Amino acid sequence: MPDSATLPRYAGLLGAGLLTGGGWLAGALPGPAPATRAEALWGAGAGFRLGLFACVAGLAILGWAWWRLGVALRAADAAAPGRVLATGALWAAPLLLAPPLASRDVYAYACHGALWLDGHDPYAVGAAAGGCPWLATVPPVWHDATAPYGPLALVVSAAAVALARLLPAGDTGQLLLAVAVLRSAAVAGAVLVAAHLPRLARACGVDPAAALWLGVATPLVAVHAVAGAHHDALVAGLVVAALAWGAGGTVPGGGPVPGGVVARAAVAGAAVGLAVAVKVTALVAAPFVLLLVAGGRPSGPGGPGRRVAPAAVAAVAAAATFVVFTVATGLGTGWVGALGDTGSLAQWTSLPTGLGMAAGYALRAVGAPEAYDQAVAVARALGLAALAVLLAAVLLRAWRAAASTAMTRAVVGCCGAALAAVVVLGPVVYPWYAVAPLAVLAATTTAAPARRWLAVATLVLAAMALPSGLGLAVLTKFPGALLDVAAVLALSWMWWRRRRPNRRPEPADETPPERPAAGVPEARPADAGHPPAGPAGARPAGG
């Protein structure tokens, strides 16, 4: 890494330190959740406001440092991936000591584990009804919500609580230990991304250092994976691992995988099965992993058998892994019904929800306030229909690209686009949902404009929630809904401009060509298939 990265590296450390210190004053502390939005925004005293200022300043400094690090990487002829990872670890280290930041979800995770250990079904009973000892730390809106995560997520939560209960330190001390264990699981997900993203990037023809900068060493990962301890970090790690093994795996020492294609297929399948066992949205990545394992579409003599067999091994491994966790927990598939609870809040960060909100505001203005909820519900249904069509189109594109020489990059890019579509068109969106799509897209994106837009999205998402856990989308509902409408109109106009046929031919250039200076031969375009013109401009006979 060039010397120009030295200042960003240590400036980022300063920003992370400010985030940590400010978090202990204005973060999602292990006490009662704020009862009102005003309390979550301004707190109860000057100490909270000082901590809020420190967190905002720290995030701004960290974001600047990360951006400048990316500029330094682009200016370098070659950058060592290890140096990028070391910088990301340096920034993450202070946040390991911070309280949860920008969300109180980790307390809900702890309640899920406590309910299950106490004999309740987290898919059927909420934290309040199950008597969670840490109910006060969970925002009131989630008191009656059931767990929307898969069986592996509940195993992680239960293990964290079980370890915490070994500590005779009262409810608060046990909660802090449970949070630390849950944070370690999220950090493990980030480590999985860091371990497999370079290999995946190389398979896609992308600079590993640049991929690590965009997919791991980011403010979004620092805030929502390290400090926020979200399950989405584990999903990201398992999905990236599945894609890397599907594209071509090696053992940690760098040698070939024992057992070759079959072992690689089994590992890739098991990884994607584990990801689905954490969060069902990871199921979107499964067909792309199977395409990678198969090495493309079955074609040619012996092609179907040679390529379908590894894909079948991966599919069986994925299904078996998920079934094992489902049966071992004894909870079945109750998480399917629990997914509906996540959509109880209407926020414009979901594009369909924002459009529905805008329509609802318009209906309120014309005297139909009761139609607001129906407008949001209809928009969400249309969003899910659009998502289904888009996923089918992306999968078809990946299938067609699977026969090309750039198969790996095309399939992985389609997988990233599919995961991003799930985030954008889902009924509810939180910033940490983007951790997995950005990690996958980091392995395939080389165009400077695209990388710049992904970087901007990363910075915006990292700043979309206050340290106390209050989301900015809650405070900006009306302007946010208008922003969604403006975004759709802008994208539609851009699409129309690109698709519109050019009916008017370009006017001919009437400017006479400049005569070359005396003694300088005139440059002529190559005329394929003919020898150069003679001195008089005529072609030789027979030309």
Runs of H (alpha helix) within 249-334: 261-278, 286-294, 303-329
Q: With the C-alpha atoms ordered 75, 81, 82, 86, is the resulting torsion angle positive or negative? A: positive
pLDDT on residue 519? 39
Closest CA to 146 of 342, 343, 277, 283: 342
Q: Is residue 374 part of a domain?
A: yes
Instruction: Report the C-alpha gap between 381 and 369 in whole angstroms.
Output: 20
Q: Is residue 518 part of a domain?
A: no
pLDDT on residue 405? 64
Q: How far is C-alpha 37 from the geometric centre of its chain's CA atoms?
A: 27
* Mean pLDDT value of segment 25-49: 90
Beta bridge partners of 471: 465
State the pLDDT confidence band at 77, using cuts at 50, 70 and 90: low
Asked which of 223-237, 402-416, 492-506, 517-531 is least confident by mean pLDDT, the reply is 517-531
Instruction: Report the C-alpha gap between 344 and 338 in whole angstroms.
Output: 11
Type and span of the H or E element at 412: helix 407-425
pLDDT on residue 80? 86
State the pLDDT confidence band at 167, using cuts at 50, 70 and 90: confident
* Mean pLDDT value of segment 503-526: 45
Is it the case that residue 469 has pLDDT exceeding 70?
A: yes
pLDDT (tens digit per residue) in 112-130: 999 999 999 999 999 999 9
pLDDT on residue 538? 42
Triad 29, 172, 138: Cα angle to 5°:
50
Q: Is residue 464 part of a domain?
A: yes
Closest CA to 239 of 199, 276, 198: 276
pLDDT on residue 344? 67
Is it the case that residue 527 has pLDDT exceeding 50?
A: no
Q: Is residue 512 part of a domain?
A: no
Instruction: Report the C-alpha gap between 294 and 286 in whole angstroms.
Output: 12
Q: Is residue 519 part of a domain?
A: no
User: What's the structural domain count of the chain?
Assistant: 1
Is it the case that residue 529 has pLDDT exceeding 50?
A: no
Percent of the chain residues topping a pLDDT of 90:
71
pLDDT on residue 157? 97
pLDDT on residue 528? 40
pLDDT on residue 497? 85
Is it the case that residue 12 has pLDDT exceeding 60?
A: yes
317's CB contacts (< 8 A; 6+ apart) are: 265, 266, 267, 268, 269, 270, 273
Percent of the chain residues topping a pLDDT of 70:
85
State the pLDDT confidence band at 42, using cuts at 50, 70 and 90: confident
Asked which of 31-45, 118-132, 211-225 is least confident by mean pLDDT, the reply is 31-45
Instruction: Say if residues 18 and 219 touch (Cβ distance below 8 Å).
Output: no
pLDDT (tens digit per residue) in 178-209: 999 999 999 999 999 999 999 999 999 999 99
Rounded to 10°, the helix 231-248/151-164 angle is 130
Q: Which residue has the higher pLDDT, 309 or 132?
A: 132
pLDDT (tens digit per residue) in 407-465: 899 999 999 999 999 999 999 999 999 999 999 999 999 999 999 999 999 999 999 99
* Mean pLDDT value of segment 376-387: 96
Q: Is residue 132 part of a domain?
A: yes
Instruction: Report the C-alpha gap between 175 and 229 in whole angstroms.
Output: 14
pLDDT (tens digit per residue) in 335-349: 777 666 656 688 999
Cα distances (Å, whole numbers) of residue 432 to 138, 259, 436, 464: 18, 37, 9, 10
Q: Is residue 441 part of a domain?
A: yes
Instruction: Report the C-alpha gap between 249 and 258 in whole angstroms.
Output: 10
State the pLDDT confidence band at 520, using cuts at 50, 70 and 90: very low
Q: Is residue 535 part of a domain?
A: no
pLDDT (tens digit per residue) in 481-500: 999 999 999 999 988 888 77
Mean pLDDT of the chain: 87
* Mean pLDDT value of segment 280-286: 95
The structure tokens listed for 150 are 């898969």
* Mean pLDDT value of segment 74-87: 83
* Residue 331 domain boundaries: 3-497
* Mean pLDDT value of segment 461-481: 95
pLDDT on residue 333? 75
